[in-house]
Structure 1
Amino acid sequence: MILVLSYDAYEQGTDPVISWLLHYEVPFVKVSLHDLINHRASYHIDLKNRDVVINGLSVRDTITTIWHRRFLGAGRTLSFPVGSHAEQLGFEIRTELQDLVSYLELLFRDKTWLTAFHQIKINKLELLDVASQCGLRVPHTQIINNRHDLLAFYLLLDGQLISKPIADVRGSYCHDDGSTYVLLTTTIDAARIAALPEHFFPSLFQEKVAVEFEIRVFYLDGRFFPTAMLLSGPERHIDKKLDSASERVHYVPYQLPPEIEEQLTRLMHSIGLNTGSIDLLKTLGGEYVFIEVNPVGQYLAESVFCHYALDKEIAEWLINHEPA
């Protein structure tokens, strides 16, 4: 039986796949993080016998294929009683759940996984290093904590410089006036550098690549589904999230060169991922530059515009990996 681990509520990358599983009448069960802490079912985990028993029935040998998508992220939405210890309580409960889920992954490690828990967390710096070792071009990147070295890097790159978070941050900041601030990739110029203190928190600075267009590649176990994001007009935001909903963006199917596919395959094997959304840049000089891979990136827009039917592809992958 297929086990789907995802959000409790609707999730745009998960529920369309579930619709196909229902269409094919394939047995599956969906479990969310909330199911582990709410009273929807009685369960116990037997460490001695390495078994999971739900409502009196063992599922250790029933589950054969597991699709994990945005399961632990739901922990950020868990609410706790307001009080002086709410922050500490939230931290401890999330830590307890993290260790519980880690053990469940160990218990089911012999199953077929589409993205295991321990492969979700990607270190951006390590990823760029591995991508370079696999033959991919990556932007010149430095971690800097002082204005002197930042200015030197800025001059080395002829002023073509950006900054972005080191980690994969998805948070936001709410201001008292009702405004909300999010972390985005930002252009760094001489005026910004001059305004910085002599020393600051270690930050990621990167070469600003001259882009013809961006490419989002959905990778599924050796298969590539690339989408070129063509932008009408000369203006382009540094962070593509600001252009993604614009009417000036056109999503079209794209064919990667065989050598780039080989290098990306080598990268995905090296980091242990059998699926993910890969971001590339096509430069004005015709080169391909690797930016990042998101193990659980959204894919639905590219799938719809390019008629890839990726929700169907994922469902059929899960079904085809079930024992005969």
Structure 2
Amino acid sequence: MVLLLTNSQHDTTPESVMDWLSYYKQDFKRLHAENYSNWDLKNIKKVSTVWFWRWGFVKGLPQATVVDNEKNIITLNDNIRDENKMLSQYFMYLLKSKNWLSHPSSIDVNKLIVLDEAKAVGFNIPEYKIINSKKQLQNFKEEHGRVITKSLGNTFPLSSRECFTMFYTKEVTNIEAVSSTFPSSFIQKFIPKTLEIRTFYFNKEIFSMAIMTPNSEVDHRKYSKDLRKVPYQLTKEVEDKIHLLMETLNLETGSLDFMLGQDNLIYFLEVNPIGQFSMVSEPCNYFLEKKIALHLKTLHEKKH
């Protein structure tokens, strides 16, 4: 059996891979972080291969809502998340002898370490600094001109009954409105671009797509409906660096973000170990869903 581990039942990306698994008559089961604790662990014996696709360690158990004060709610929910994390880790431990596509131990990457490793293999990296005061921010901006900020961690959307909030890369403009000190933040030099490049790395193959964006825009995700996306061929030199970086990071799969600057240089931005392959596959007809299904099929057959 092929076991698919996903974040929630609302994540539709794995469904295209499941369709191909069905086409190839593969036995599979999908579990997500919200319901895995209800699965009979005796079924683990039937599992040959595991595909780790987004798994919310902080989800799966209900949160507390009826407590005497807000501070206690936060503390109790932190305890619940810790309990669930322990359960999730044990569940992964029970699957340790299986064939894996993307193991949880290798996908929790640190963006700052990734930037260091990317620079070490020869990628161009826009200048950046970790800053926690207005004075530092002013100095960095005076040195580099336009600057941007983005999250260091894997942020999750904020939602309520009234709104849904995403975290985007944003240009820092009104410094006067910034407090004198603030939590440590990632600040990076703004590079005027010709286009953005999204690359999906899978099984030592590289699939790239160019995203045509307005030169002045910082984050293409805010304008996804108006973008032109076409297949893109990176140079052998850049692809060799990608192979070296992914091997260094011990990543079998991942989405890498680059941009082509107006200075005609390719800049490395980041790598997401669990990237949205469908956004590269569909516009470029790469059929990555089929390739992933075939790879899972091969892993399954190796166990038999």
TM-score, normalization by structure 2? 0.89
Whether 1:115 and 2:99 are equivalent positions in the alignment is no
RMSD across aligned positions (CA): 2.2
Q: What is the Cα deviation at residue 267 of structure 1?
A: 1.0
Higher helix share: 2
For residues 231-263 of structure 1, give each alpha carbon's deviation from its aligned partner in whole angstroms, at most 9, with x where no partner exists.
3xx4542112112222xx111001111111111
Going from structure 1 to structure 2, the CA distance change for 1:173 and 1:207 (only over 3 Å counts) comes to farther
Q: What is the Cα deviation at residue 155 of structure 1?
A: 1.6
C-alpha contact 1:236 1:243 (8 A) present in aligned 2 = no
Partner residue in 2 for 1:161 = 147
Match of 2:66 among 83, 88, 92: 83
C-alpha contact 1:124 1:168 (8 A) present in aligned 2 = no
2: CA distance, partners of 1:10 / 1:180: 16
1:175-214 superposed matches below 5 A: 178-189=162-173, 192-214=174-196
Bigger shift: residues 132-141 or 180-189: 180-189
C-alpha contact 2:118 2:245 (8 A) present in aligned 1 = yes
For residues 31-65 of structure 1, give each alpha carbon's deviation from its aligned partner in whole angstroms, at most 9, with x where no partner exists.
22233333xx444xxxxxxxxx24xxxx34x3222
Match of 2:286 among 287, 308, 320: 308
Q: What is the Cα deviation at residue 184 of structure 1?
A: 1.9
Partner residue in 2 for 1:285 = 263
Whether 1:237 and 2:217 are equivalent positions in the alignment is yes
C-alpha contact 1:186 1:238 (8 A) present in aligned 2 = yes
C-alpha contact 2:61 2:84 (8 A) present in aligned 1 = no
Q: What is the Cα deviation at residue 171 of structure 1?
A: 2.8
Amino acid at match of 2:212: L
Q: What is the Cα deviation at residue 312 of structure 1?
A: 0.7
Q: What is the Cα deviation at residue 310 of structure 1?
A: 1.1
Match of 1:95 among 82, 85, 95: 82
For residues 273-292 of structure 1, give each alpha carbon's deviation from its aligned partner in whole angstroms, at most 9, with x where no partner exists.
10011111111122111111
How many residues align structurally? 298
1: CA distance, partners of 2:12 / 2:116: 31
Going from structure 1 to structure 2, the CA distance change for 1:316 and 1:120 (only over 3 Å counts) comes to same
C-alpha contact 2:202 2:252 (8 A) present in aligned 1 = yes
Going from structure 1 to structure 2, the CA distance change for 1:262 and 1:93 (only over 3 Å counts) comes to same
C-alpha contact 1:2 1:28 (8 A) present in aligned 2 = yes
Partner residue in 2 for 1:297 = 275
Whether 1:223 and 2:205 are equivalent positions in the alignment is yes
Amino acid at match of 1:308: Y
Going from structure 1 to structure 2, the CA distance change for 1:31 and 1:174 (only over 3 Å counts) comes to closer
Amino acid at match of 1:242: K
Partner residue in 2 for 1:47 = none
Amino acid at match of 2:171: T
Matched-pair identity in %: 29
Gaps of 5+ in 1: 44-52
Going from structure 1 to structure 2, the CA distance change for 1:107 and 1:76 (only over 3 Å counts) comes to closer
C-alpha contact 2:64 2:77 (8 A) present in aligned 1 = no
TM-score, normalization by structure 1? 0.84
Q: What is the Cα deviation at residue 5 of structure 1?
A: 0.8
